[in-house]
Amino acid sequence: MEQLIPWLVFCTAFLALSLWKPGAARIFLGLFFILMAVAVNLVLSFVAPELFVSLGTDDPLVPFYMWVFQNVVALLPQGVGVLAAAGELAVGLLILSRGRRVNIGLASAIAFLLLITPVGLWTLPNPVMAVGAAWLMTRNFPRSLAQMLRARRGRTIGRTALEQ
């Protein structure tokens, strides 16, 4: 329960950012998925596999999740962690890309967030973040993060050359 309120605040802040600054929210969400892929699914499944399994066995809202974590995830938590990390990494990279791929990434993020919501009480705010991602799907993102960074770097280099 102690994780519920901070996560609700985090998800609500993301929703607000999505409405206020969709471009920044998209970049944030893509980086967030990449960070969670590495820090939670990959690292946790190798460093503390029992803790990784307990994510779904402590207090799931749907009994099926308990069964899956006890009978599937517990057999090879590192393998499940690698698969989950690969999926989240792909979602993050798609969100940071451009055009149609962004929407594929956002739709995948929404599906992931909703799929893991029944894992426990602390994941109940996930639909709030999913609403923010759904709002981002109504926007157009013609440039990838890499393109934005290259363009920004080019402007900085151009200014420096002009100042000399």
- Tally the domains of the chain: 1
What's the pLDDT score for residue 157?
Answer: 52
- Supply the range of the domain harboring residue 41: 4-163
Give 18: exposed, middle or buried? Use CB within 10 Å, 0-12, 13-18, 19+.
buried
What's the pLDDT score for residue 73?
Answer: 95
3-state secondary structure the chain: CCCHHHHHHHHHHHHHHHHHCHHHHHHHHHHHHHHHHHHHHHHHHHHCHHHHHHHHHCCCCCHHHHHHHHHCHHHCHHHHHHHHHHHHHHHHHHHCCCCHHHHHHHHHHHHHHHHHHHHCHHHCCHHHHHHHHHHHCCCCCCCCHHHHHHHHHHHHHHHHHHHC
Q: Give the pLDDT of the chain (164 residues) as one tens digit per residue.
A: 688 999 999 999 999 999 999 999 999 999 999 999 999 999 999 999 999 899 999 999 999 999 999 999 999 999 999 999 999 999 999 999 999 999 999 999 999 999 999 999 999 999 999 999 999 999 999 999 999 999 988 775 545 433 43
CA dihedral for 54, 88, 6, 135, sign (positive or negative): negative
What's the pLDDT score for residue 163?
Answer: 40
